[in-house]
Chains A and B, each alone.
Chain A
Amino acid sequence: MPTETLISIIDDDEDFREAVARLMKSWGFTVEAFASELAFLSSPNVRNTSCLIVDLHYPQMTGIELHRRLVESGYAIPTILISAHLDDSVRARALADGIICYLTKPCDEDALLGCISSALERAKPDEYRS
């Protein structure tokens, strides 16, 4: 289990983001939870997050939007989307945009762990580059 990997979570539901954070912590990750995108963007985490878990915010889909903006600004943080709704077209769009995983609530522990592993795999080359 990696220990020095920083994972950031953005979700406006306090109970949910704390639960994700606690679960990550039990897995041994270093986690930081944010209530809003703004809070995340104005934190130093933007620079050193290895994996971002963000609420899709259906139907505005600000999650995808955030990922795109981060990529455009040069922060290609591997991102996992969590949505309360399963929408295949949105899922396809998200994956085409380079999102690692599209999970629906309530999400399966193993699935989440698998997604995080792929995200961290993806994150490694970046670390070498920087």
Chain B
Amino acid sequence: MFMERSAAGLQAHELVLSNLSPSVAQRRFALGVVLVLLVVFVIVAGPLSGLPLRRVDAFIPAYGTAIFVIDSITAALLFAQFSVLRSYALLALANGYFLTALIAIPWTLTFPGVLAPEGGLGGGLQSTVWLYVLSHVGFALFAIVYTLLKDADPMEWLSPRSIRARVLTTVGSVTALVCCATVFVTAGHALLPRIMLDTAEVSYLWYYAVGPMAGLFVVALVLLWLRHRSVLDLWLMLVLFAYIIEIALTAFPIPYRFSVGWYAGRVYGVLSGSLVLLILMKEVTMLYGELLRAVLAQRREREVRLLTGDAVAATVAHEIKQPLSAMTMEASASLRWLDRATPNIDEAKVALQQIVNNGHRVGAVIENIRTLFKTEARTRTSLDVNNLIREALALVRDDLRRHRVAVQTDYNQSLPPIEGNEVQLQQVLVNLITNAIDSMSTEDGDRVLSLRSKVYDSGSLMVSVEDVGKGVEPSAIDLIFKPQFTTKVHGMGMGLSICRSIIEAHGGRLWVTANLPRGAIFHFTLPAHREH
């Protein structure tokens, strides 16, 4: 199961925030936030609008700093996403946040009362408000550019250097724009339309600015609504919505600085900045967790594979060495018989026949290992474990009869299906059954093989192969699963270490316990197949 997921499933685009599609829960949460924003707006614009509030001098620098920090971090994260994804849409959005972060500096410094009573940096009453307009119009335009570009797939290959160049060029342009704008609105403040009547009073002209600004955001929001797909789109829509309310609050119900609506507007401003940041941070952390899990799963899978390789190599070496040794000795023996003064043809023939038999045995070993590990052996299907047991029993029917072994079966009929490779699991069962038969064939008394299937826990099932043979010595319980462990080889057999590797590669466990008063029970678990 995890094999397929980690091998084929680890595609970069699935793990990038701007490509993840939002879940139902995320959509509901976003809708909830929209409702809260609306309710707060109605309360602020309605019942609370008359609430007299004082001007708090510390508020402006604190607010400006917050916006600067939040938007810079958001921009940095988005630039990082751009460098991974090479999407120009993300580059535009990152620059949008960079613009608002940067403008927060002159906005704060030119705000009347912060550095100078009528505005710092040599500006006047009109400087701050026009910076505000620039920041909002700029962000809305960048959001529109993001929306228009996001479905285009540029994705052309870019070298790290050209990515850096693009980031630096755009950042430089935005910085230059903000610098020019700041110089223009401060040095040329007298030329600007007079929106501010004094440090707090706003003129009717403001409505002419608010209308198009809000309209721009509405356009951005509608465009994004029509094209939204990803988690990032969802939260960006929320941000645009918060911006619209923020802009509305500067003019409605009363266009006056330091009113309830104005303070609430600032809060919406911080919110719209931090929403995307919070979501980015949360999603990045979660994705990191996912990635970590996938990497760990992949590493485990590789270890299991290595183990399998080890076990296969050891088993092949051992299983081939046995018949090979026998063959060389039989050959030497037959030579001896033939070399005698009176050659003993009969003895030589027996030895030669044994060479033939052992040659077939080597062939069978190789054929077995090949069947077990050829490429098709990796394909997995949904399997019924009870069927697997029945088929395995059918395969060893002759062996059972020859050794006069009685079979008892106890199937749980309501087992969940499992996902696995039929050939490999079949081999595990055949191997365990053959071992059980062998261990009983040297013992006196009844020979009973019991096979059981049952539900192990909520997510897995267990199969037990029980014999009344010579059992496993307590000291050997761990040793028998080692690749080097000497096993008896009979055509189908292939060693407990490979059995264990196969079961572990299927996400299960294989172990042995004593069967009292005599014999051994081999158990293995397999995870139930979950529908994706």
Contact = CB atoms under 8 A, between A and B. Distances in A.
Given A23-B333, A26-B336, A35-B442, A15 B322 contact: yes
Given A15-B323, A84-B317, A106 B328 contact: yes
A109 to B, nearest CB: 4
Interface in B347-362: 347, 350-351, 354, 357-358, 361
A15 B479 contact: no
A20 B322 CA distance: 11
A61 to B, nearest CB: 10
Contact of B489 (A13, A20, A22, A85): A13
A81 to B, nearest CB: 13
B218 interface: no
A22 B354 contact: yes
A13 B322 CA distance: 8
Main secondary structure of the interface of B (DSSP, over half): helix
Contact of B327 (A13, A19, A57, A109): A19
A69 interface: no
B246 interface: no
B324 A84 contact: no
Nearest to A83: B486
Nearest to B323: A15
A59 B318 CA distance: 13
B326 interface: yes
A59 B482 contact: yes
B354 A59 contact: no
A26 B333 contact: yes
B236 to A, nearest CB: 63
Contacts of B479: 59-60
Q: How large is the interface on A (under 10, 10 to 19, 20 to 34, 35 or more residues)?
A: 20 to 34
Given A26-B336, A26-B337, A59-B482, A107 B488 contact: no
Contact of A15 (B361, B442, B482): B361
Contact of A18 (B324, B326, B328, B482): B326
A48 B326 CA distance: 26
Interface string A3-31: 00000000011011011101101110000
A32 to B, nearest CB: 16
Contacts of A105: 321-322, 324-325
Query: Which 7 residue pairs are nearest across A and B when measured between Cβ atoms?
Result: A106-B325, A26-B336, A19-B326, A19-B329, A105-B325, A26-B333, A23-B333
Given A26-B333, A60-B479, 8 more contacts: A16-B325, A22-B347, A26-B334, A27-B336, A60-B485, A106-B325, A107-B328, A109-B332
Interface of B: 317-318, 321-330, 332-334, 336-337, 347, 350-351, 354, 357-358, 361, 442, 475-476, 479, 482, 484-486, 488-489
